[in-house]
Amino acid sequence: MFNPKDHQGKRQQVFMSSVEALANLFALLATFLLTPEIYARTVHWIIAYTASRYGAGFEELTSIVWFAMTGLLVFFTARATLATAIVAGGLALATRFV
């Protein structure tokens, strides 16, 4: 039989999966645009810090690892922020029109 609670649950699943997909898409875009900028402004400091604390000779490895970490930091920060903002915006629109 038709159960309204099942229908509501499916709508929520569709909404949340759409929010997740949209947040991932925008996070990828933010990662593509911001990672090179942040990396270029911080890599010299990270290499100098690593060399002074752990010794020289790891510059290439440090720069590769720092690039990957910068990309992951940007992606996950953007995804968490955007997912929260999209849900809050959706709820604000829903309360305004309902």
DSSP string, 34-80: HHHHHHHHHHHHHHHHHHHHH-SS-HHHHHHHHHHHHHHHHHHHHHH
Stretch 1-10: mean pLDDT: 62
pTM over 0.85: no
Mean pLDDT throughout 52-56? 93
Residue 8 CA, distance from chain mean position? 28
Q: For the segment 23-38, what is each residue's pLDDT rounded down to a tens digit?
A: 999 999 999 999 999 9
